[in-house]
Every structure is written in C-alpha cells, then in structure tokens.
Structure 1
Amino acid sequence: MKKWVLMGLSMMAVVVLVSGCQKKATNSGKESANRATRSSTKSKSSSKRTGRPVSKQQATPGKTKQSSPFKPIVTQTMGRLKGQNAVYVQQIGHDAYQWHVKSQKAASDIKLFILATVYQQVQAGKFNLTATYTLKDGDKVGGTGSLQGMAAGTTLTNQELLKYMMTVSDNTATNVVIREVGGFDAVNREIKRLGATQTVLQRKMMDQKSLAAGKDNMTSARDLGQLLAKLWQHQLISKSADMAMLKLMAANTNHSKLPKLIPSDRQVYNKTGEFDTYGVENDAAIFAKGKRAVVVVALSQGGPLAEQVAAMNQLGKQVDAATFK
C-alpha cells in the first residue's frame, strides 16, 4: 500500500513539474514574441523617421572634418569673416576637408568649367584650337580683359581666346568661347558629366539683364576642389587635356589671394573670381612642390573685400605650411 502511495505521489510531482515547465516555456515564448513585436515596431518607427530601413550593421563612417589638421587653420582665417564663406582643402592622396560648403556666386571661377568643356570637345574631335575667330564690336563687354580694347576685325585663334580667358580672366573672350562650344546647354552638360552638383552656368559675363532677372552663375568650394583634384591627377578628361589646362592655369597673372604669401618655389595653378557689387572674392588653387600637391578653394561673398582677401592670404600661407612642412 505504501509503495503504491509513494508511486502516486511521484507521478503527481512529475505532472506538476512538467506543467510548470510548459507554463514557463509558454510565458518565455510570449515574452520573446512581445520583445520581437516591440523591436519591429521600433524599427518601423525609426525607418519612418529616417526614410530608410534600420540595420544592425551600419557603414563605418570615414574620417570626419574634426580630425583634419586644416580645421583650426580655416577657423582662424575664413571662420572670422562676415557673410557667406566656404572652404575646401585636399592634400592629394588624403581625405578632403570641407567647411560650410554650399552653392554660391561663382564669378570668374565658372571659367574653369567652361575650360573643361572646351577640352572635352577637343578630346572628342569637336573643337579645333587652331581655328580662328574674328572679333566684333558686339562681342565686347566690360570688366576684366584685353579684348575689349582690341579693334573689331582682329583675328584670334581659339587657343588665344582660351589664353586670354584663363590668364587675365578676359570676359569678352569667355563669352565668345561659350558661344563657340555650343552655349549654356553644352557647358552645363559637361558640368553634370564631371559630377559637379552645385554648379550651373546661367548667364554670360557682364550680363546685367540676366542678373536683374535672378540668373547667375553658381558653384561651390567642393565642386571646384574636386575638379582641381581630378585635374592634378589627370583624371578629369585625359592626360594631354589635363596637362594643357594646368599649363593655362599656371600662366594666370592674379596671385593676390591664396598664393600671395606662399614660398616662391611652389608651382601655382589657380583661377580667381571677383564681383565687387555682391562682395564676392573667390580663388581656386593648386600648390605643388615636386610631385606633392594640395588643392585649396575659398569662396566668400557678402563681406568686406579687404578682409576677405587678407583671410585668403593667411589661409593659403598656413595650408601650404601644414602640407609641405
């Protein structure tokens, strides 16, 4: 009798134990399901806020601008200016540093993209540098340049027009070149092909009517900086075309901004832009020493011109010193 009672009690204990385990398992399953539901809801909510699905494995970010040795230099120079200012600095072979980059008035720095359009067409056999153009009185516009003082009927090769456009920033030559390559559409197609997303050509040089209508030529420090970095590495159009463009930039006569205070043994390739009416001072440059080079771009508008130029002088000097120390 005792044996049967003990067996019965044992069986009851087993039933209770199994039942408890099943209940615990059921509760655990419910809790797991609840956690999954909460996680899914949270993910959906996060996805809704960010516009992209949430993933456990996010891309590892690259170097940030906070790690750049150029940050304090930019802060101490361009960072003290009034108005809208932007800087792009890239030592070739290293990450770029960008500060306050957005689209702003290009002034004559848009001529770099016009030049790229010419050499893209030269490369494609669509533009002849030795062909001649006869200057007309109707071509002449004011501002910088020499062609406005030349007699109508003067014959110039396309190569000479480019030289005037890049070395003395000739506005008349620039307008002729824009027309010869196919107008705004041709230049803007090349801008797009180059991957420049904050640059557009919307008017010819000294076109006050277009300005009054709100149309201006725009660019950014990043678009200019990336163009120059590709140009130096012969990755813009072709080695021969890029070298020809660099040769023209090396002959630029205006070194009053970024290159003014750098050592005389540096090779400088640059293009400036000015538009006093809007307080615009721009410069896009490459400083080189042997095979080493750094790209520096500074755009400034809406501030005191003298302060802008002085800041660019110091920016160029200090970036050069940090690069070639």
Structure 2
Amino acid sequence: MLVKKTTVAIKAPRSVIQGELNQILASYHSIFNSIGGNKSFYVTSSDGTEFVAVNADGAQRSASTIKLFIQAAAYQKVARGELNMNANYTVKATDLVPASPILDGKAGSTYSLNEIARFMVQYSDNSATNIIIDRIGGIQAVNNEIRRMGYTNTTLNRYMRIQSQIDAGLENYINAQEASDLLKNIYNNTLQNNNSEVLMLNQLSNNYYNWWLTANLSTSASTWDKPGNDPRFGVENDIAVIRVNGRAYVVGLLTQHTGSNGLSYTSKFAQLGAAIAAIMRQR
C-alpha cells in the first residue's frame, strides 16, 4: 500500500488555531446537539496543546475503535523486542469469527503479522484483531500496554465477536481524549518507545469503512482514521486525523444512541468532517 503524499507542515499562529477550534466546536454543536444519547467529542491541533472537548473524560462503548489501541499495543512490544511483526502466521479455522472481510474463508492462508495488523485497522477485520490480541499475549497483556502508554480510561474486556463473551455482558470501552492523544502521537511519530509510527499510520490510511468523519474528504484533505460501530447499542465512533494544506487536527467523536442502527448518523459525521476541512481552508 502506498503511503499518502507528505506535505510540509505550515505553522499557524496559536490564536488562529484557537479560533479554528472554536469554530469546529460550534459546528459540532450545530450538527450533533439534536442527537440524544451519550456523546464524547475531542479535537486537538496536531502540533500544539490547544483542544476543545465535550464530555471527553469518561469512557463509552468502543466498537472497533478499540483496534487503534490494540495496534499500538502490538508495536509497543515490537519496540521492546518482545514481538516480531515480520513473522508469518497461518490462519486457523478456529481463528475465524464474523465480520472479517479479509480473512473470512482464509483458513490455511499465511500472512505476516504486519499484514494481519493492517487487516485489523484498515478493514476492521475481527479475525485479524483476535490473532493480534493473542500474539500480544491476550486481553490482560493488551491492557498492560494501554496502561504503559499512560491511558487509564480505555479498556479491552473481550475478544471480537466471541458470542459467549458478548452473552456474558463483556464490552470494550474507549475514551475520546485518550484515543485522540494516541492517534496524535502516531501521527507525530512521538509514541513512547516506538519507532513504528510510519507503518502504523500507513495501516490507518484508506480505510475500507470510509463512512464517518472522512467520508467526503477524499479530494480535499489527507486523512487517517479508525471508525467503529455497533448496531446493538447504536454506537457510531470515529477517531481521525484531518490534514489540509500541511496542517492537521485530530478528532475523536464517540456516540451512542438507541435511535441509531449503527449507520444512522454517518451523514452527520461526514458533515462535521467536511466542516473541519472547510474551516482549515479559510486560512
């Protein structure tokens, strides 16, 4: 896969950035205030400390956005020499679970763990995710890596689409601020003890489920994101970097509303993403 074209970052005055963030916040309220349920929103500049936030301190059901943290956990272990993502893995029939657009029917096929990690985040492949969780060392090992990175409100409690775990009421939870901070560190190549950020960012480009914040930005911005949805609970989430003219914002938006079927608000997410890009183009 080709890495998206890199442009030289253009510094903006801090007052400009804060003004843009205020406009982004106003756009969020205009688009999402009519939606009930639980919402968390966090936006920060990629090159500074400025941010705006709405209910961003707590945790919400993650759906597939937890895979961003699983990806980071794997490459943290790589950095310490505890995991070789260049190693090959042969998919077993017992690895296969629903909602696996790449690995479905691929028992017996062999891929590198780097490829499987890409399937996990670019295609949100659930079988690939469970394989990576196992290679990390299991659920607790993933959480240990999340805590090692300094994130305390994001937790992996179960594998993907294991019905017995779902029936037991186990759910994964994510925090909008923590997810945005993690993606910001990946984007800026500043993730603690990790030299794999370029590869990780490449895995997050050209998302197969490009239906939320980045849906309308293919020609107007460079984007990297990890969305997730769960129709059982009306969950629609996206964590994204949106870059225009060499400057970027990192956006985390988590929603859960019984009026959503998991795809009900894609147009609103896309509207907000387009508004953010338009605000950045004003300068």
State how far apart, in whole Å, the 2-side matches of 1:112 and 1:263 are.
21
Q: Which amino acid aligns with 1:225?
A: S
Q: Which stretch of structure 1 is more off in the superposition, 158-167 or 207-216?
A: 207-216
Which structure 1 residue ranges, 5 or more long, are not aligned? 1-63
Render the CA deviation track for 1:40-87: whole Å, top value 9, x for unaligned: xxxxxxxxxxxxxxxxxxxxxxxx99x833221111112221211111
Shift of 1:220: 1.5
Asked whether 1:277 is paired with 2:277, we answer no
- The answer to whether the aligner puts 1:210 opposite 2:184 as a matched pair is no
The 1:243–1:98 alpha-carbon spacing in structure 2 relative to 1, beyond 3 Å, is same
Cα displacement (A) at 1:183: 0.7
In structure 2, C-alpha distance between the alignment counterparts of 1:138 and 1:307, rounded to whole Å: 33
Tell me the TM-score normalised to structure 1 length.
0.75
Counterpart residue identity of residue 60, structure 2: Q
SS at match of 1:295: strand
Partner deviation per Cα, 1:160-183 (whole Å, 9 max, x = no partner): 111211111100010011001111
Select which of 246, 251, 256 maps to 2:206: 251
Tell me whether 1:85 sits opposite 2:42 in the alignment.
no
Distance 1:290 1:259 in 2: 16
The answer to whether the aligner puts 1:134 opposite 2:90 as a matched pair is: yes
State how far apart, in whole Å, the 2-side matches of 1:237 and 1:296 are.
21
The match for 2:110 is 155
The residue that corresponds to 2:62 in the other structure is 106
What secondary structure sits across from 2:33 in the alignment?
helix
More helix per residue: 1
The answer on 1:75 being equivalent to 2:34 is no
Structure 2 Cα separation of the partners of residues 148 and 240 of structure 1: 31
For 1:203, give the aligned amino acid. Answer: R
What is the CA distance between 1:267 and its match in structure 2? 1.1
**Distance in structure 2 (CA, Å) of the matches to 1:265 and 1:240:** 29
1:308 to 250, 265, 269: 265
Three-state SS of the structure 2 residue aligned to 1:149 is: coil
Q: C-alpha displacement at 1:108, in angstroms?
A: 0.6
Residue 239 of structure 1 and its aligned partner are, at CA, apart by 6.8
Tell me how far 1:255 sits from its aligned partner. 1.7
Alignment of 1:165-176 (within 5 A): 165-176=120-131
Equivalent residues of 2:44, 2:251 under 8 A apart: yes
Query: Is contact 1:103-1:219 (8 Å) kept?
Result: yes
Question: Amino acid of the residue matched to residue 22 of structure 2?
Answer: S
Q: Secondary structure at the match of 1:203?
A: coil
Q: 1:143 to 1:83 in 2, by over 3 A?
A: same
Quote the Cα distance in structure 1 between the aligned partners of 2:194 and 2:152. 24
In structure 1, what residue type is equivalent to 2:103? L
Distance across 2 between alignment mates of 1:230 and 1:147: 29
Identity %: 32
8 Å CA contact retained: 2:146, 2:154: yes
CA distance in structure 1 between the partners assigned to 2:231 and 2:82 by the alignment: 36
What is the rounded CA distance, in whole Å, between the counterparts of 1:154 and 1:144 in structure 2? 14
Distance in 2, matches of 1:212 and 1:280, equals 18
- CA displacement at 1:238 relative to structure 2: 5.4
State how far apart, in whole Å, the 1-side matches of 2:52 and 2:174 are.
17
Which residue number in structure 2 is paired with residue 324 of structure 1?
281
Aligned to 1:289: 244
The TM-score normalised by the length of structure 2 is 0.86
Structure 2: unaligned runs, 5 residues or longer: 1-17
Q: What SS class does the counterpart of residue 287 from structure 1 fall into?
A: strand
Q: Larger Cα Rg: Structure 1 or Structure 2? A: 1
Look up the equivalent residue of 2:177 and give its one-letter code: R
Matched pairs, number: 260
Structure possessing the higher relative contact order (Cα contacts under 8 Å, 6 or more residues apart): 2
Aligned residue type for 2:66 = I
Residues 235 and 260 in structure 2, CA contact (< 8 A), matched pair in contact too: no
* In the alignment, structure 1 residue 232 sits paired with structure 2 residue 155: no
Cα drift, residue 290 of structure 1: 4.7
Tell me how far apart the structure 2 counterparts of residues 135 and 208 of structure 1 sit (CA, whole Å): 20
Tell me the distance in 1 between the aligned counterparts of 2:189 and 2:132: 23
Shift of 1:264: 0.8
Give the partner amino acid of 2:133: I
